[in-house]
Homo-oligomer: A and B are copies of this chain.
């Protein structure tokens, strides 16, 4: 039998291969693989469901990630997928595989974080599975949410001339990760060194304990705006924008100056010899919301202090461009993450 290595496909290639053989049989199944969450028609509303795995040594390093933060983050990143569909999260289940290296007290700490996130996002922990693992810790969280049928936001429904918007700021989680990795190297080389993390709380918090933007979903309701498309920024702005453009069959022009980057992110990126814009475009794990609105909805949103209007969509599907201050346009490319 032939052997094809996983790394030759990459994560997105593997997902495409898996999806290719899948058909939906049930009338309740409105949307399957290919968006932030699946959609099921349960009567007057749509049920949303999404799942995410976090694997020790791949997604987190317990050398600098406190278990409490890990528990919080595992819930937040799942809740973020429900927010990305314009939905309200309701319930989670937690699958946990762990080796006997972990004590009962360690599990208590993990669940303290999970419960704190459940409280923050008003979701209920309703079930799960706990089992042994030969090595390390694996968390698998599934989340359900609800959304009114006329408010669900997909990735493939953006239209030319829509305004491209993003909440909060980008790149901080990636810069935070680089700081933690640097401190780890310093610590391994010399355990007596003091960590140089004073004043960098915001960057560390964005990496270790990110928040899902459920708050903004409620604000969209109050503003009376339904995004034409939405996605959460887990892999970086470039990758997410390309998902919306490819799936919607549109192009985009993004104005570099409009990409929201916090001053602390900017300064620390430069100090780490990183380009701040690249951190925002390809860093990932910000869990902000990237969305598009009809030009007519811009008036309702233009004064929102936490939304940046970073560009607009075009009718040229193959052309997703970043326009620099000097007026040059460069194609936006997704770096993505190659786990294998």
Contacts and interface: CB of A to CB of B under 8 A. Distances in A.
Interface of A: 1-9, 11, 14-15, 17-18, 21-22, 24-26, 28-29, 31-33, 37-38, 40, 42-45, 47, 49-53, 55-59, 90-91, 93-98, 100, 102-105, 107-108, 111, 115, 118-119, 122-136, 138, 140, 142, 144, 146, 339-340
Contacts of A53: 95-97, 129, 131, 138, 140
Contacts of A129: 51-53, 140
A7 B100 contact: yes
B49 A105 contact: no
Given A17-B104, A18-B130, 10 more contacts: A6-B100, A6-B107, A7-B100, A22-B124, A25-B119, A25-B124, A28-B146, A29-B126, A40-B90, A51-B94
A193 to B, nearest CB: 24
Contacts of A51: 93-95, 127-129, 140, 142
B144 A18 contact: no
SS class of chain A's interface: helix, strand, loop or mixed? Answer: mixed
Contacts of A93: 38, 49-51, 142
A44 to B, nearest CB: 5
Contact of A339 (B7, B26, B131): B131
A155 to B, nearest CB: 13
A31 B100 contact: no
Given A42-B43, A49-B91, A51-B140, A15 B124 contact: no
